[in-house]
Structures are given as C-alpha cells and as structure tokens.
Amino acid sequence: GQQLNQSPQSMFIQEGEDVSMNCTSSSIFNTWLWYKQDPGEGPVLLIALYKAGELTSNGRLTAQFGITRKDSFLNISASIPSDVGIYFCAGRAGNTPLVFGKGTRLSVIA
C-alpha cells in the first residue's frame, strides 16, 4: 500500500528557533494535510493543502504542497513551548483513504 516517509522522527530545538519537517510519498497525492497531536489527545488538523505548489499559513505555521505532488513541508517559526507534540502528515491519492506518516516528535527547550 501507499506509504509516507516523514522526517525527522524527532527534533529537539531551543525556544525561538524555526522548525522544518517534511513528508514524501512514492505516489502522486492530490491532498496533503498536517495534524498535531498533544499528549493524551487526538490529532488536530492544522493545515490542508489541495493544489500543487500551494503555500498556506496558519499563524506561525506554514505548509507547502510540493510541485512534484509527492511531498509536503511544514515550517514553524519562532517556536514556543506549546508547540511541543507530534506532528503528522497525511495524504491522499485519488479517492483512496487518507494515509498517515509516522509523525515527527517535537520537543522545545525553554
């Protein structure tokens, strides 16, 4: 089945630093989503991308739908302690179910 490679698996950063993470797929996707999961909670949708090349922001978060349609990037600017959590990418090709990455665990050191 389809698989997503999400990297890095984990990150330790200083408060105030910018963060970048990405997701790649072996297939062409027509949708990319980014979720954040806090400890003890379910994933919460951050950003949805529907067109190749699309760049969308949500506060300090910016995500891009790669031109090749096989990748997506999430950037967080000026990280703060509450950014801690696991960030998941998810994508879909055609009408198939959403496929999720394994997540990037972000730790912020104050």
* Nearest residue (CB) to other proteins, 19 versus 90: 90
Sign of torsion over alpha carbons 76, 44, 71, 68: negative
- Name which position in 99, 104, 106, 108 contacts other proteins (CB under 8 A): 99
Interface of this chain with other proteins, residues 7 to 36, rule: CB under 8 A: 31, 33, 35
Q: Considering the rule CB under 8 A, would residue 98 count as an interface residue with other proteins?
A: yes
Q: Could you tell me which residues come within 8 angstroms of residue 108 by beta carbon, excluding any fewer than 6 positions away?
A: 13, 14, 15, 79, 80, 81, 83, 84
37-76 binders of other proteins (CB under 8 A): 40-45, 48
- Does 85 bind other proteins (CB under 8 A)? Our answer is no
Could you say which of 11, 34, 66, 101 contacts other proteins (CB under 8 A)?
101
Residue pair 50/65 in contact by the 8 Å Cβ criterion: yes
87 sits near other proteins (criterion: CB under 8 A): no
Q: For residues 89 and 48, what is the distance between their CA atoms, to the nearest angstrom?
A: 10
CB of 34 to other proteins, least distance (A): 11
Amino acid at 30: N
Q: 107 — phi, psi (to 5°)?
A: -120, 135
- Site residues for other proteins per CB under 8 A: 3-4, 31, 33, 35, 40-45, 48, 88, 90, 92, 95, 97-103
